[in-house]
Structure formats: C-alpha cells, structure tokens
Amino acid sequence: MNEKLNVNLKKFNINDVFYFIKKHSKCKFIESVDVSINLSIDIKDSNQNICGSVIYPNSIKKKDIKIIVFAPKNLSEIAYKYGAYIVGTNDLFDKIKNKSIYYDLVLSVPESINIVSKLGSILGPKNLIPNLKSGTLTNDLKNTLLSFINGRVIYRNDRFGIIHSTIGKLNFTDIQLIDNFKVLISSINSNKPGKLKKNLIKKITISSTMGKGYVINLLNLSYCV
C-alpha cells in the first residue's frame, strides 16, 4: 500500500480505509466503526423512506440489551425464556406512558400492535414503533428475540436522507469490517424504492467514534448501485 498516495486521496478504497482509521485512532477505549450513507431518496415522500435490519456475519452484541415485548399472556413464557425484559399489553402500555421503565427495543406481535400504536408520541421520536421492515413486528418471538440479543442491527434514514449505522469495533479485523459493511450495503440496496431510477446510494463516509470521516470510492463497489 502506498500510504503517502492514499492519505491524499479524496475518496478511499474500502479495502484500505480501515487501515487509516485504526492508524489514526488516539482513544484509550475501543471505538466503534460507524458508517454514514447519504441516499438519493426524496425525503418528502414517505414511500421512499428506507428501513430494515441486518444480522452481521461478525456480530456486534450490545451488553444487557433491554427488550420489551407487547404480547398477550399466553406468549409471555416463551418471550421471557428467550430474553425479553418485560412482556405485557395494557400494563406495559401504562409503564411506558408513565416513563417508569427503561428499554432499548420494543417488539410486538400483530395482535398487540393496536396498543403500541397509541404510544406513537413517545415511541415515534425514538424510532421504536414496531414494524415489519425492521423485524420488530413479528409472530416469531423466539427467533426475533434471539437475533436482536445476538446483535441484529436496525437501520433507517433520518430526516436528511442519511442512514447512520455501526459495522463493528476497531478490534475487528479489516476483513470482518469489510464483510459487515457489504452485508449492510446489500441490505439497504434491497430496500430501494421501486420508482427510484437513479442509484440509491450517493455517498458513504466511514469513521471511528471519535475519528475523522473517510469518504469511500463508490466506483469500486459493485454492490452500491
């Protein structure tokens, strides 16, 4: 690798960028590797919003993730068995309404979604309303809970049409980070709106938590079209 040449490039090859991110990290803690993806969607058209989830080949597990589940009593046993923090319906609604519990993620089975929808003013700004695209509205509580406990990641564009996500830690190998990156990009492209004729992805920037951003050269990424 010609380091002197590469550091002066405005856009970086995905195969090289993690070398520079790691080299210039000055933090005493292990930073995350974060990706910002600018999309060419019309943010005024709600049908073009991008939302989905991925299970990375190299998992990013969040310690002690608190998942609450809206489900009837007959499903509470299986939900608790596979990692739910709190399971309920109207009683869980009251806990959220009164802000008496902390939670990282909200799941729901379809028959309980009407209860959850009444919490839109609370869950909406946090992007926590269960839906099919993110995999948080489900009939398969067992496998859904296990997937999120084991590192499943939800992504969605913000009001500027940008997706912010994490693909790993600086102690991952470059190959592990590249593999996770490819899975994320492939998943995002699979959700491309049908009426969008141009490329979905306009720009990709990768950085560590506290580090500078490196713009990726999209010309070398066949999975970015």
Sequential pLDDT tens for the chain (225 residues) = 554 445 545 899 999 999 999 999 988 899 999 999 999 999 999 899 999 999 999 998 877 899 999 999 999 999 999 999 999 999 999 999 999 999 999 999 999 999 999 999 999 999 999 999 999 999 999 999 999 999 999 999 999 999 999 999 999 999 999 999 999 999 999 999 988 989 999 999 999 999 999 999 998 787 776
pLDDT at 107: 98
Cα separation of 67 and 150, whole Å? 12
What are the CA-CA distances from residue 98 to residues 15, 94, 116, 119, 209 (Å)? Answer: 49, 6, 14, 11, 33
pLDDT at 4: 46
Cα separation of 99 and 108, whole Å? 19
pLDDT at 9: 53
What are the CA-CA distances from residue 36 to residues 21, 162, 208 (Å)? Answer: 15, 7, 11
- C-alpha torsion sign, points 169, 33, 177, 14: negative
pLDDT at 191: 93
Output the pTM of the full model. 0.87
